Chain A
Amino acid sequence: MNAKSRLRRPPSRGALLASVVLASAAFAAPAASIAIDVGFAGSVVDGRFAPITVRIDGLPSAVDAVLIARQTAGNAWRGTARIETSIASGEITNGVLRATVPIHDALSDLEVILEARSGGTIATTTVPLRTSRRADPFPVYIAPARGPAATSDPVIDPAGIPSDWWGFDAASSVWIAGPLPHGDWEVIAQWVLAGGSAVVYTGADFFRLDGPIVRQLLGLRDPTPVTWADGTLSLQDPGWPGGTVVIVRDARPLLVHRAIGAGSIWIVTVRPRDLSDAEAAAILGAVTPAIPLRYDAATAGLLAGMRYARPSHAVAIGIVGIGLAALVAGSGIRRTRPWMACGVVIAGAVAASVWSGLYVNMTKPPAIVYHSNTIVSFQDFVGFAVSHDNWYSLDRNTLFLPAGAGAPLVELDHSLATGDHRLEVRDDRPWISLAPGRLRSLRVGTPVRERFQLSISANVASVVGPKSEGSRTAFVVVDGVVHPVEGWSGTDASIELSDGTELESLELGRPDHDGLLRAVADRFPIHAGAWLLVIDDVERTELVGGLAVAARTVALYVVRGGES
């Protein structure tokens, strides 16, 4: 074999294999990966929030990135809505992240993407939701609590408890039978106050559960273990103040119900293993489901009542009339004075243009986007807030949501073919697409943002809180009697508690405020004890990304008072 033929000879298989191995080794840097768990043991409900746990592995170092959950709801026939939620942003490293995401269509997959802020996708994964989709909210059992043998309701590990109270949105009730960290109790308490329904098994295990939040949540004054005749150790509180005994065993309370905030707490006075099957079934039948707080109607009413500053018809008619008059006048003299006829027509057009321009400049341009926002914030031993937003646009627009909008749940119509439905995350901020004449409704749960305080000493109530940016109406309610806090817009005020009016007969003189107050009073126990009610109403028109947005925010703060 000569040199030329040696050069043309193909490389041996061994050499090829070696080169592939060497190349693989050179590029064998660990690839970033994402693993996710959504919902309660995978169970989710359409149009509700769900907890999500994201595990990130394989990142060589911290990256400046955004972690986005993306869902494309609908289909080609129904139309589609593309909704994104920012789970985390900033310096992201390997580890576990917990958040809460809205589920817009459990028939569609949920995609989680780790995107570098400088551009490019670092890792992505997709989870199908349809297999464990539930039509309605369902009971969630936190181990060691368990449902009846035949049920498919999820049992979750305490580590799977949502990090946000609205993460329980898909739960009809939460069953607890073991100790939990303080933070988890706080989340459960927030959810119960916001209309949730929690069942707590106590009995011999109570003192393993006990803690400050548990005491407040269960409303216990003097919890005492009592051994029943059959040897079962039960928890009893003399008289069960504020509670209603629902089920008894041998004339002793077995299930006690207590209304707290807008929700319910159910105290089972024994451990799960101490219950007979009949008693367990009776308890399951007695527990009422959670009724989440919704202020959609109040928010829609707020939007509907906003003023639309339309231009004047008379001016429009006048402007057109000048042009027509000039044209007719010009036509009349065109045979005798043709130059003047042209001049009259052009002068008429110029005059009408000038008037039109002056009117446009003098008129405050009407907003093209209208936004109403209702915030109900409740402060007791824990606090929470719910926020509803309605957006209405006269034109097709995209708009960045205000800072702090979080990960809202968008109310989707069955037909998505009526416009561009998108809520996406760009530069770590959500933006929403608005279609002309279409309403966009958003709902989000938040922690308490504004902190108020009410302290009562003798006959004087002292209130402290943030300054109001708009008009403020405030009341101190003591055992159902309302005392107005006049002229309070600053940070603190004091009033003398005398000559109050009954809460039922309170009229604020503004139907939207009255409606919201009634809606809150129907759900919260503000007829007993001392409460501070604050209504901050802010209305303004501002330019957002070049768009004139008329916004009205009504925030109602319900704050439990204490004695100083």
Chain B
Amino acid sequence: MERRGPSWIDWGGFQIYFSLLLACGVFLVLAVPFVGRVGDLQTASWRFPSHALFLANVTLLAILGTHLGSRDERSGRPIVHLVIPVAVAQFLLTPCYVFAAVLRPGGGTFWLVYVYAPLAASLCALAAATSRRRGRPFRPLATYPTTYALTLAYLVVPLLFGLAPAGWGALTLLSPIAATLRLVDPIGLWDPIGAFAAVIAGIGVIGAVRIRRRRRHV
């Protein structure tokens, strides 16, 4: 008999949790250099980038958020039901982040990713949940593949602004992938501000749409 329990962890998405933890763990282990001398570091033709851990975190957490949002078809359910599983998933990665301090001594800005990743995933969850609900503007998007395709586009498409002339390049921060790279190695204060502003603005816009639709239904 299945008992009713807390919704902190979405067991239906167990594979995503497991993949998230496994991928980040593997990247963490690979990011530890396999050399003992500075000379070996110099001559190594390729070194596994330590920021791969953070990229995997952001990408897989966004997929988890999309999964949670896609399943959330009941209208009027509080946002917190989407956000808590995302936050718990991020909490599972805390040991990796603590350990990463050894890999990146002196560069503690990666902790910004620890906060940013669940925000971006929450945005994906909200966007997926909102698009899955019955409503004219979102009706054409109400299929699983389209929702995931949209998440993929959110992750990748803004990167194309990097090919645009100078000035447009800042828009790459709309992509969680670009934002993560900038948060790990920020060039200035505007990098974190821009990254967080973009994702918070996205959450705000979707939140406003949900509130407006709820009022309309009432």
Contact = CB atoms under 8 A, between A and B. Distances in A.
A353 B97 CA distance: 9
B96 A320 contact: yes
Interface residues of B, number: 48
B215 interface: no
B3 A320 contact: no
Given A320-B96, A356-B99, A548-B106, A338 B4 contact: yes
Find the residue from A307, A323, A345, A546 having the highest chain B CB count within 10 A.
Answer: A323
B27 to A, nearest CB: 10
A320 B88 contact: no
Interface string B88-104: 10011111101101111
Given A338-B4, A352-B95, A365 B105 contact: yes
A345 B92 contact: yes
Given A310-B33, A311-B102, A335-B3, A322 B95 contact: yes
B96 A319 contact: yes
B18 A324 contact: yes
Given A319-B95, A355-B95, A366-B105, A339 B38 contact: no
Interface stretch (A132-140, A298-306, A480-488): A298-306
Contacts of B101: 360, 365
Nearest to B14: A331
B39 A359 contact: no
A313 interface: yes
A357 B37 CA distance: 25
Interface in A275-311: 303-308, 310-311
A40 interface: no
Contact of B98 (A310, A324, A338, A356): A356
A313 B42 contact: no
B73 interface: no
Consensus secondary structure, chain B interface: helix
A239 B217 CA distance: 114
A78 B42 CA distance: 23
A321 B24 CA distance: 12
A357 B141 CA distance: 44
Interface stretch (B5-13, B121-129, B142-150): B5-13
Interface in B1-40: 1-6, 8-9, 11, 14, 17-18, 21-22, 24-26, 28-29, 32-40
A392 interface: yes
B177 to A, nearest CB: 19
A310 B37 contact: no
Interface of B: 1-6, 8-9, 11, 14, 17-18, 21-22, 24-26, 28-29, 32-42, 47, 88, 91-96, 98-99, 101-107, 185
27 contacts: A304-B37, A307-B36, A310-B35, A311-B32, A316-B29, A316-B99, A319-B95, A319-B99, A320-B22, A324-B25, A327-B18, A331-B11, A334-B11, A338-B4, A338-B6, A341-B9, A342-B8, A342-B9, A346-B88, A352-B94, A352-B95, A355-B95, A365-B101, A368-B107, A395-B106, A396-B185, A548-B105
Given A316-B25, A359-B102, A437-B41, 7 more contacts: A324-B18, A338-B6, A342-B88, A353-B95, A356-B95, A356-B98, A356-B99
Interface of A: 303-308, 310-313, 315-317, 319-324, 327-328, 330-331, 334-339, 341-342, 345-346, 349, 352-353, 355-357, 359-360, 363, 365-368, 370, 392, 394-397, 437, 439, 546-548
